[in-house]
Homo-oligomer: A and B are copies of this chain.
Amino acid sequence: MNTRDKIVYIADRMIRDVGYNAFSYSDISEHMQIRPAAIHYHFHTKNDLGLEVIRQELERVRQFRREEGKNLSGEDQLKRLFYTFFRQSFEDQHCLMGALTPDFATFDEPMQKRIRELCGVILQWVSLCLEGERLADRMRFNGTADDRALLVISTLLSSLLLAPVIGREIFVRMADQLLEDLGAHWRVDDLGDVPEDFDDPHSYT
């Protein structure tokens, strides 16, 4: 990974760990062979870095849907989503939306716009998966798929936020309850174990 991408990767993790307003360039520099000022060479302002972190996550989600997701059922795509969140619950990390929304009011317009974009893409993705599953009779729920997607995302998001407070096990409790309510025939346990090493920069979301 080149320096630029490494900076973005570390910033991404920092945002998920402690929130956007609680990390600095010097925090990032401590995790790599670089001085804080060198980060300014790659990202003029912290805002630019923040924008890039969200842009890359947006791109990852879009690429997954374009390429891998194309050949996967809604169920398999949802499993991927749940697995990502499951893994993050083990790392005491939050999803980008959960980490960024509380500080939303402190961001400028371009940043807010991009968060809105990320939010829209994720909701649309989950909504389409849910609608497909309902049509295939593998899930059932009242109301629109859009509304149900909102509930799914909000449950995953808050289970990560609450995990460090209440305990890691609440992710499985909440996710399984959600799946039961949706009439799904699979549970978090079916997703497989989380590997020991967590150095791959994948995440949706």
Q: Which residues of A contact B (CB under 8 A)?
A: 17-19, 21-22, 92, 94, 97-99, 101-106, 112, 115-116, 119, 123, 142-143, 147-148, 150-151, 153-155, 157-159, 161-162, 164-166, 170, 173-174, 177-178, 180-181
Q: Determine the chain B residues whose CB is within 8 A of the CB of A164 once the complex forms.
A: 101, 104-105
Shortest Cβ distance from residue A24 to the other chain B in the assembled complex, whole angstroms: 11
Q: Determine the chain B residues whose CB is within 8 A of the CB of A22 once the complex forms.
A: 21, 103, 106
- Of B17, B119, B180, which is within 8 A of A162 by CB? B119
Whether the pair A161, B102 counts as a contact (CB closer than 8 A) is: yes
User: Given A21-B19, A102-B161, A155–B151 Cβ distance below 8 Å?
Assistant: yes
Of chain B, the residue at the smallest CB distance from A159 is B154
Whether the pair B119, A19 counts as a contact (CB closer than 8 A) is: no
Whether the pair A101, B154 counts as a contact (CB closer than 8 A) is: no
Shortest 7 CB-CB contacts between residues of A and residues of B: A154-B158, A101-B161, A21-B22, A21-B21, A19-B102, A158-B158, A22-B106
Shortest Cβ distance from residue A169 to the other chain B in the assembled complex, whole angstroms: 11
Of chain B, the residue at the smallest CB distance from A123 is B166
Whether the pair B98, A142 counts as a contact (CB closer than 8 A) is: no
Q: Determine the chain B residues whose CB is within 8 A of the CB of A21 once the complex forms.
A: 19, 21-22
- Of B158, B166, B180, which is within 8 A of A157 by CB? B158
Whether the pair B18, A165 counts as a contact (CB closer than 8 A) is: no
